[in-house]
Amino acid sequence: MERDIFDHDHEAFREASLEFLAREVTPHYATWETEGIVPRELFTGLGELGLFAAVPEEFGGSGVEDLRFSAVLAEEAAEAGVFPALTGATLQSDVVLPYLLRLASAEQQQRWLPAIAEGRTILAIAMTEPGTGSDLAGIRTRAVREGDHYVVNGAKTFITNGINADLVLVVVRTGDDPHRGLSLLAVERGTPGFERGRRLEKLGMHVQDTAELSFSDAIVPAANLVGEEGGGFFALTSNLPTERLSIAIAAVAQARTALRWTADHVRARKAFGVPIGSFQTTRHRLADLDTEIDITRHYVDRCLAELVAGRLSPVDAAKAKLWATELLGRTTDACVQLHGGYGYMTEYPIARLYADARVSRIYGGTSEIMREIIGRSLRLD
């Protein structure tokens, strides 16, 4: 079925993205995977491509906030089997930048946005702590105001771009109320008392740096408070639907790629004298997944249109993330199975995608938390 959510500008961006990925990402991907991090130049290249163009014109962007551009890039990256290299950059464009566009003061925007538009400043967001992830109200990293600065103490973990980031939007506790006591502080590279811990070893997504951060009497200027003191929780809940939809978009694209690789494999691989694709069980399994992926893509496209129109509800975004990422899990599992032993070998892309995909049911809110959000909307008690 034809998709009608993209216009000429998005398709032009798709062409430019394809060319960028073929030139700047695919040839280097294996090296970056070994190194466990993407180079900073990837961000400046993506800045030139226009990924951070939501930044207003006066600060070097085009002022067009439209998730469809990053969706197009994510789709093409998934198609090329290199999506994990883009997760940090799409986190920057889809998740962190919107906070600064909505909440940063004029002075902060002047200070930060020009370098963000160019990809020279890399962003991260630090909510999760060793002691709490799903439950934001459990955040303990504390920021105490002393004159013109905050003194920050605490630790964050699992932070995407944790090593590369120049500006980390840190969720801190400035008061005791579980929700109204949370605020957002932008902590810059070089802040005294702010340290990066190890680059964490992961099951998949080896190309993406994920790190621990620690704050020991870190001195952060009060001028780096983003939004109102105490407004952190509400800022987070209003931005999370975009993050969840962005994860759902990538999940559908990755599932399509897994299916394509597997169709190629079962056509070529023979058992008992015939291609394994000719077995009815294989055909039916792939037919089921193809159907589910197509239907899911329509729902996710619809959510994207709703988001662009400013109407996407947190519940609909949760449904998109829950369904698309669970489907990605079912798809990669079935596709590994259909590859037989080769599916378990990391030199085969399907094995790496199986491992890379697992996190999509965990980060950005787990599947259980998505079910909680959806379940609450049913008003059952």
Ligand X SMILES: Cc1cc2nc3c(=O)[nH]c(=O)nc-3n(C[C@H](O)[C@H](O)[C@H](O)COP(=O)(O)OP(=O)(O)OC[C@H]3O[C@@H](n4cnc5c(N)ncnc54)[C@H](O)[C@@H]3O)c2cc1C
Window contacting ligand X (CB under 6 A); options: 33-41, 143-151, 211-219, 368-376: 368-376
Binding residue for ligand X (CB under 6 A) from 50, 61, 81, 133? 133
Q: Are strands 167-173 and 149-160 parallel, antiparallel or unpaired?
A: unpaired
Q: Is 377 in the site for ligand X (CB under 6 A)?
A: no
Binding residue for ligand X (CB under 6 A) from 13, 20, 69, 158? 158
Q: Is 353 in the site for ligand X (CB under 6 A)?
A: no
User: Among all chains, which residue has been given the structure tokens 């002047």?
Assistant: 110
Q: In terms of CB distance, is 208 or 262 closer to ligand X?
A: 208
Instruction: Measure Cα distances from 99 to 31, 91, 288 in Å.
Output: 32, 12, 39
Minimum gap (Å) between residue 90 Cβ and ligand X: 12
Instruction: Measure Cα distances from 275 to 41, 258, 266, 280 in Å.
Output: 44, 19, 6, 11
Binding residue for ligand X (CB under 6 A) from 73, 116, 159, 236? 159
Structure tokens at 261: 């690789």
**CA-closest candidate to residue 24, choices 9, 8, 11, 43:** 43
Minimum gap (Å) between residue 3 Cβ and ligand X: 29
Binding residue for ligand X (CB under 6 A) from 362, 374, 375, 377? 362
| Total residue count of the chain as it appears in this document | 381
- As a whole number of angstroms, the distance between CA 111 and CA 131 comes to 33
Q: Is 374 in the site for ligand X (CB under 6 A)?
A: no
Q: Which region holds residue 158: left if phi is over 0, alpha if psi is between -120 and 50, else beta?
A: left
To the query of whether residue 243 is one of the catalytic residues in this protein, the response is yes
Q: Is 83 in the site for ligand X (CB under 6 A)?
A: no
Binding residue for ligand X (CB under 6 A) from 24, 79, 326, 372? 372
Q: In terms of CB distance, is 247 or 276 closer to ligand X?
A: 247
Instruction: Sort 284 into a burial class: Cβ within 10 Å, 0-12 / 13-18 / 19+.
Output: exposed
Count of CB atoms situated within 10 Å of the CB of 266 = 23
Number of residues in contact with ligand X under rule CB under 6 A: 22
x/- contact string, 200-219, with ligand X (CB under 6 A)? --x--x----x---------
- As a whole number of angstroms, the distance between CA 235 and CA 38 comes to 29
Q: Is 303 in the site for ligand X (CB under 6 A)?
A: no
Q: Is 134 in the site for ligand X (CB under 6 A)?
A: yes
- Tell me the sheet residues that pair with 342: none
Q: Is 357 in the site for ligand X (CB under 6 A)?
A: no
Window contacting ligand X (CB under 6 A); options: 143-151, 283-291, 320-328, 365-373: 365-373
**CA-closest candidate to residue 68, choices 244, 321, 241, 245:** 245
What does residue 142 show for φ and ψ, rounded to 5 degrees?
Answer: -110, 140
Q: Is 127 in the site for ligand X (CB under 6 A)?
A: yes
x/- contact string, 221-260, with ligand X (CB under 6 A)? ----------------------------------------
Instruction: Measure Cα distances from 198 to 85, 215, 355 in Å.
Output: 19, 14, 21
Q: Is 99 in the site for ligand X (CB under 6 A)?
A: no
Minimum gap (Å) between residue 243 Cβ and ligand X: 10
- As a whole number of angstroms, the distance between CA 140 and CA 155 comes to 8
Q: Is 125 in the site for ligand X (CB under 6 A)?
A: yes
Binding residue for ligand X (CB under 6 A) from 62, 128, 214, 337? 128
Q: Is 126 in the site for ligand X (CB under 6 A)?
A: yes
**Which residues neighbour 299 within 8 Å (Cβ) at sequence distance 6 or greater?**
319, 320, 323
Catalytic position from the list 243, 292, 306, 368: 243
- As a whole number of angstroms, the distance between CA 103 and CA 363 comes to 24
Structure tokens at 349: 């892309």
Residues serving a catalytic function are 243
Residues engaged in binding ligand X (CB under 6 A) = 124-128, 132-134, 158-160, 202, 205, 210, 359, 362-363, 365-366, 368-369, 372
